[in-house]
Structure 1
């Protein structure tokens, strides 16, 4: 029980970071994914490569450049100065910004694939009924894209929960402010507290497995009840 109370601030901070990051990613990821799925512009290759960059870029490299950008001499310093701050590095807002960049492909790619699979038929049918784009997107596209949004939400959330390299670079290890669960495990290992490290790591492993299993199950059920979907 003492371990739970010791780790509770890190749990709460991790869940808050994952929740806020996922909401932001769904908001900004939707138009990006829609454009990537529908546009014929040659710029889609470049934008798609930039979005997917965190998949192959070492987290410490991304974290290093994010640290510079969020620091006192970068854009983060200018933003922080608007409320009297000096930097966004080593702050919770800085963690959110870094997490959004790092988890972006895990939200954009499932949405892009879903929008591409829908094709132009549903949108054209909605236009033929007199819907404008906003109404067609909300009432037609979004319901049809539920499996993609479910996958994007879970992947974005779970990936943020498991972040380490980027979080360590731009957030450090400040209890109650930037010390998330992955940093807590690192802390326990450094202190040779193997039992605590095993318990927290196992908890994250079980969380990841259950989350993915539930997502796949729900996604399969949605696919089975949709008209025209093969079983």
Structure 2
């Protein structure tokens, strides 16, 4: 049938690996970013601009630069990489574990910034009322703050997931291209172009475009529906 339709045989393993990487990264970043975003939204100390600058750094840094330094830090010759490999037998470079670590660094601002903006937009009196009612800071964040910043929360989760799926420079430098372990969709497209398999590259790229469009559309539709609810 494929020969009749003249369709190239496709391997969707890189897409599945990309989605797996994006899902794990999004979950880890949500757990790690929640306290950081809350702190940044509530503090006015001198350290705040420095923390915000460090958090936003992956946005302006070239992926190759960020990937290079992550590779250096996670390599077996470094203190961190050597520690994990010697003590736990975990290899942090050219492995899926290394991709997760690198992706967490690279996608950090896409989780932190929407959450921080959402927390900053909250009515301060609502938070004060929660504290006066005897709720702890953790209870206030989970039961009061998060339910009231749904647009920001959904935006953070979806954009982080999509951004991780689309990574290229960082994952290539840290993970290389090991089939079934580090060869994600973006790397697969790059390799197809290198060997001039443009038919497959077109299909893979079109799938990435459609997925990215669907993700952004879902975010904007959801945010618009939430604004209408707020108006009503």
The TM-score with structure 2 as length reference comes to 0.93
Aligned counterpart for 1:178 among listed residues 182, 185, 190: 182
Counterpart for residue 122 of structure 1: 126
1:62 aligns with 2:66: yes
Q: Distance in 2 between matches of 1:137 and 1:39?
A: 15
Q: Distance in 2 between matches of 1:7 and 1:51?
A: 36
Report the 3-state secondary structure (helix = DSSP H, G, I; strand = E; otherwise coil) of the residue aligned with 2:93.
Answer: coil
Report the 3-state secondary structure (helix = DSSP H, G, I; strand = E; otherwise coil) of the residue aligned with 2:116.
Answer: helix
Counterpart for residue 76 of structure 1: 81
Unaligned runs of 5+ in 1: none
**Superposed displacement of residue 90, structure 1:** 0.3
**Superposed displacement of residue 44, structure 1:** 0.8
Deviations 1:175-208 (A, max 9, x none): 0010000000001001100010011001100100
Q: Distance in 2 between matches of 1:84 and 1:27?
A: 25
CA contact (8 A) 1:7 1:184 kept: no
Counterpart for residue 24 of structure 1: 28
Unaligned runs of 5+ in 2: none
> What is the root-mean-square deviation of aligned Cα atoms in Å?
1.7
Count of equivalent residues: 227
Q: Distance in 2 between matches of 1:89 and 1:27?
A: 23
Q: Distance in 2 between matches of 1:96 and 1:141?
A: 28
1:36 aligns with 2:40: yes
Aligned counterpart for 1:92 among listed residues 89, 96, 112: 96
CA contact (8 A) 2:176 2:183 kept: yes
Q: Distance in 2 between matches of 1:71 and 1:21?
A: 20
Q: Distance in 1 between matches of 2:140 and 2:217?
A: 32
The TM-score with structure 1 as length reference comes to 0.93
**Superposed displacement of residue 61, structure 1:** 0.2
